[in-house]
Structure formats: structure tokens, C-alpha cells
Amino acid sequence: MTMIRRCVLPMAAILAVLTLAAGNLRADQIRVATEGTYRPFSYMTAGGELTGFDVELVQAICKAAGLDCVMVTMDNDAVMPALKDKKVDVLATGMSVTEKRKKVVAFTNPTRSSGKQFVSCTPDKFPDVSPAALKGHAIGTQTGTTSADFFQSEYGTADIRLYKSMDEAFQDLTAGRVELVLAQSAVGYDFTQSPAGAGCKFVGQRMESAKYFGEGVALALRPEDTKLRDALNDGLQKIIADGTYKALNAKYFPFPLN
């Protein structure tokens, strides 16, 4: 029997709109939703500034495409309803491209790999991270993600913990309330390099299964917004061609994301 302990809250409303208040947005501005709690892709600095790889990537894409974009932060479980209700126009939340999601949203071309890997702060205890080996062990990840779906499909005998954000999952990992956390490799790497993640390491091999984790990570938007999708793809292609993407990748990671 699957044991799932949900560590999540009901869907939250938009937390904040950055740069401009929602009521002041112009009709031609593109509202891009991001979490602000998903290091190193989208997070708040100590000074309250939104930054991260995805944030800078979107800004570069929009500039190259000639689009006027404004970033909006909200909880991950609120982004899909907000897109459907036209409160935002684009999702930059590290969403993996899957066949299931293609039925609901349109995607740009992939912006990076969607590979996942386990992280543990007691790595010597887990030479084997197969479903059989982790039976009864507390494993965590973010709710509403391909990692959560993967857990429920393959790790049903584990003690699954689902969190509102990866920050909360990693907090429980360092506190010993969960033994392993599954995250996108770049997210796990950022955590292991932080003071909070000192001594924590990757365990097991990186998993690149298209069946579970999709065909990469991309920006998501409404299916009918084909002109916007084409413009974003054009912007992405331009920053890849001129070296902007490579420079941004190197700023955050010592390995390629795509």
C-alpha cells in the first residue's frame, strides 16, 4: 500500500507581483509566472530581489524576441489555474515536457534537461536507491511534479513525503525528517554546494527517463497562444546562437544544462 504523507497546503493565491502591480500592467505586457522558491532557477536574494537561472533566461529570451515581460511569483500549485484563467501568460517553473501536460498546455522548445537524481545527507546509508531498497524509507520531493508522479508509480512501498517547494523538502532533509530527496540534478547540485547542504551528496545514478521526466524542461503557455510561443522560440534560438545561453549556464553551473 502506498504510504503518502502530504506536507502541502491548499492552493495559494499569487504571493506577489514583481516590478509592477497587477493593476498597472499594460495589455501588451507578457506576465511570466515563476516560484521564487526554486533555487538556483528562481529565488529571492537577501535583499528581496528575484533572480536565478530561469529568471535571467526569461529576461534574455524576452529581450531577444522584443517582448515586454514582467515576472510574477506564485506557489507552484497555483500556476496552472492562473494560466488557464489568463492571470499569467507564460510559466517558467521548471516544468518538464510530458505527453500528459501537452494535452493541457503548449511548450516552447526545451530550455534544459529534465534529469533527476536523489540527494541524501547520510549518503553512505544508500548504496542502492532502487524501489526495493527504499521500502519503508522516507523520501521526499515537490508536489505536482514529475518526481511526485514517479514516486507514486515506482516507489509505492516507500514513505513518500510531498512538499509545497523544494526548499521545504531540503529543509526536512537537513533536519533528518526525510532521508532522501529527488530533484532535478541542477537543483540538487545547488543544494549540495550551499552551507545547509554541507555533507549532503548525490546517491544513485542520474535518471533521464523520458517516460517519467519528459523531454526536457520548457516554458509553458496556453495552446492558443501560437504567436507568443513562436516569439519565445525565436528569442531562445537567438540567445543560444549568440552565446548568451552558454554564458548564463556557466554563471550558475560548472556543467551544461542541455
Give the model's pLDDT for residue 70.
Answer: 97
Class of CATH domain 11-112+216-252:
alpha beta
CA distance 163 to 241: 37
Tell me whether residue 4 is exposed, middle or buried, using C-beta atoms within 10 angstroms of its C-beta: 0 to 12, 13 to 18, 19 or more.
middle
CATH code linked to domain 115-213? 3.40.190.10
* Length of the chain, in residues: 258
Strands 159-163 and 42-44: unpaired
**Looking only at Cα atoms, what is the longest distance across the chain?**
55
CA distance 113 to 108: 14
pLDDT of 123-157, one tens digit each? 999 999 999 999 999 999 999 999 999 999 999 99
pLDDT of 80-127, one tens digit each? 999 999 999 999 999 999 999 999 999 999 999 888 999 999 999 999
Threshold 0.75, pTM exceeds: yes
Banded pLDDT at 22 (limits 50, 70, 90): very low
Please, where in the chain does CATH 3.40.190.10 lie?
A: 11-112+216-252, 115-213
Contact yes or no for 114/214 (Cβ under 8 A): yes
Q: By percentage, how much of the chain surpasses pLDDT 90? A: 80
Q: How far is C-alpha 51 from the chain's CA centre? A: 14
